Amino acid sequence: MSAVLMPSRAASSGERLRLIPAALVCIFAAATVLALGGRADAGAGNGQQGGASQAVQAPKPATTQDNAAALAQKAALGDAASEYRLGRLYHSGDGVAKDDSEALRWYRKAADQGLTDAVKALGEAYAKGFGVAKDEAQAIQWFRKAADKGDAESELTLGFAYTQGFGVPKDDAAGASWYRKAADQGLAGAQCNLGIAYALGRGVPQSYAEANKWFRLSADQGYVEGQTNLGYAYLNGLGVKQDLAAAAVWLRKAADQGVVPVQYTLGAMYAAGQGVPQDDAQAVYWWRKAADQGDAQAQSNLGAMYDMGRGVPQDPAQAAVWWRKAADQGDAKSQNNLGAMYQEGRGVAQNDKLALEWFRKAADQGHVRAQTNLGVIYGSGRGVPRDDVESAKWYKKAAEQGYPKAQYALAGDDEAGRGVAQDIVEAHKWYQLAAALGTDDVKAAAMKDGDSLGAKMTAEQMAEAVTRAKAWLDEFQKKVKQ
C-alpha cells in the first residue's frame, strides 16, 4: 500500500532552477526595424555610427544654426538643405509651432530637388501618417527613390518591407537582396537581418556559416542583436564549433546592453559553470538584472537562490517575494513553490487556503508537482474536505505525464479502490512505471509494494500488467521524442 506523499516543492536545486538545456533553441533576434519607418534604438547603446537599424533618421533637435527665421529665408530662395531642415523643425516643434502638414510641404520641396534625407522623410511621413494619410504603398515608393540613390537606411527599410509584406507583396528573396545592399555598405542592422535570412533559409540558401559571418560584422559594430545571435551560435555549435567560452564573451556584450533573455542565459551559465567559472553570486547578479526588468524565469530563479542560500544569504521571505512576482506572471514552477511556502509557513504566514489556490493555478497549467500536491491535499483533507475522487484525479493527471511520485500514489489508489474502482492490474502497471522512472525512495517503495501486490496476482494478471506498462512507456517515450 502506498504511503501518503509529502507536498512536493523542489527536492533539489536542479528542480528549483531553470538552467541551460542540453541544446538551446537558437534565438535569432530580428533587428528591430519598425514597420516602414521609425528608429530602432535597441542596438544603439554603444553610440557607434551605424549601430542601430533605422528606416528613416529621426528629425534632429533644432540647433543654434537651425534658426527658423534664417532657415525660412534660405528655404524661400530654394536651398534644399534649408527646406529639409525647416521641415524638421515643423515636425519636431522646435522653435516653431509643430505643424506636420507644413513639415511635409517643405520635405516635398527638398525632395523635388533630389535631397535624399527629404525623400526618406516623405517615406516616413506616409509610413506613419503624419501630415498625410498613412499609405504604405506611397511610403515604399519614396523609400525606393532614396534606396536607388544608394541610401543604406532606405535599403534596410525596403528589405524589412519585403520580408514582412508591408506595402509590397511578401518576397523573402527581394528582402534579402535589399538587406545585402545595405549590409555591403556596413549598416549593422542590415548585416544582422541578412544573417537571420541565412540562418533561417529565407530568400537565400540556408547556411549557419554565412549567417555567422554577417552576425559577426554586425556584432563587431556593437549591434546588440548581432552579438546575441553570434553568442547563441557559439552556444549551440551552429555554423561554428561549439565554444561556450566564446558564447559567454558575446552574450556578455549583449547582456551589458540590457537584453533580458541574454541576461537570463548568462546567469544560467554562471550557475552551471558553462563557459565561465561557476559563480552563484554572478548568477544572482545577472538574474536580478533580468528579474528587475520583469523576466519571470529570472524571478523564479532568484527565488530559488534565496530559498537555498546560493549566492545570497538564505532568506525564505525574499524567496517568497520573487516567487510571487513570477507567479503573478503565470509561471507554474513559482506558483507551485509559493503554494508550498504557504503550506509550510516558510517566508510567509502559514495559510492552507492560499496554498491550495497557488497549487491549483500551477496544476491547471499541467505542472506535475502541483498536481501531485493537490492529490496529497485532497487525499489528506488538509484545509479542504477529504475527497479521494478528487485526489485520484490529480494523481492521474501527473502520473500520465510521467511523474513517478504521482504514479506511485495512483498505484496505491488503484490497489485499494480509493477514489477509483479497484483494479490491481492497473495498480501493478503504475508500480512498475514508478519503479522504472523513479529514483531513490520512490523507486524502492514502488518495487517493494509492486512485489507485494504481484504475489497476490495470477500469471495472467501479471502478464496483462506488464503489457499495459510497456504500452504506456512506449507511447510516453514517443511523446518525449516529439
How many structural domains does the chain have? 3
Stated as kind and residue range, the H or E segment containing 75 is: helix 68-76
Asked whether residue 41 is domain-assigned, the answer is: yes
Residue 39, beta-bridge partner list: 54
Residue 202, C-beta contacts closer than 8 angstroms, at least 6 positions apart? 163, 172, 175, 176, 196
Is 51 inside a domain boundary? Answer: yes
In a domain, 272, yes or no: no
Residues 251 and 127 placed together within one structural domain of the fold: yes
- Residue 266 falls within a domain, yes or no? no
Of 339, 366, 386, which residue constitutes the final position of a domain? 386
Write out pLDDT tens, residues 395-441. Answer: 999 999 999 999 999 999 999 999 999 999 999 999 999 999 999 99
Note the pLDDT of residue 18.
55
One domain for residues 465 and 316:
no
CA distance 282 to 285: 5
- What's the CATH code of the domain at 331? 1.25.40.10
Q: Are residues 207 and 322 in the same domain?
A: no
pLDDT at 54: 34
> Is the same domain home to 396 and 377?
no
Cell (9 digits) for 53: 537599424
Residue 54, classed as helix, strand or coil, is strand
Domain identity same for 152 and 238: yes
Residue 265 lies in a domain: no
Answer yes or no: do 179 and 117 share one domain. yes
Residue 403 sits at φ, ψ, to 5 deg, of -90, 115
| pLDDT < 50: residue spans in the chain | 1-15, 20-62, 64-65
In a domain, 166, yes or no: yes
Do 117 and 84 touch, CB atoms closer than 8 A? Answer: yes
Q: Are residues 208 and 76 in the same domain?
A: yes
Q: What is the rounded CA–CA span in Å between residue 71 and residue 65?
A: 9
Query: What's the pLDDT at 68?
Result: 85
- Same-domain status, 360 and 413: no
Final residue before a domain boundary, out of 352, 386, 420: 386
Q: Is the dihedral of CA 233, 234, 237, 241 positive or negative?
A: positive
Quickly list DSSP for 188-199: HHHHHHHHHHHH
| DSSP character at residue 79 | -
Q: Burial of 313 by CB count in 10 Å (0-12 exposed, 13-18 middle, 19+ buried)?
A: exposed
Measured CA to CA, the distance from residue 404 to residue 382 in angstroms comes to 22
308 and 243 both lie in a single domain: no
In a domain, 275, yes or no: no
Would you say the C-alpha torsion 47, 50, 52, 58 has a positive or negative sign?
A: positive
Burial class of residue 421, CB neighbours in 10 A (0-12, 13-18, 19+):
exposed
> Which residues form the domain of 367?
1-22+288-386
Nearest to 257, CA basis, from 233, 221, 283? 221
Residues 251 and 362 in one domain: no
Rounded Cα gap, residues 249 and 226, in angstroms: 13
Output the pTM of the full model.
0.82
Q: Which residue has the cell 516558510?
A: 346
Considering 371, 386, 401, which residue would you say is the last residue of a domain?
Answer: 386
Asked if residue 65 and residue 12 are part of one domain, the reply reads no
Beta strands in 265-408 (DSSP E): none
Residues 245 and 328 in one domain: no
* Cα 124 to Cα 134: distance, rounded to the nearest angstrom: 10
d(CA 333, CA 339): 10
8 Å CB contact between 320 and 308: no
Is residue 277 in a domain? no
Tell me if residue 39 falls in helix, strand or coil. strand
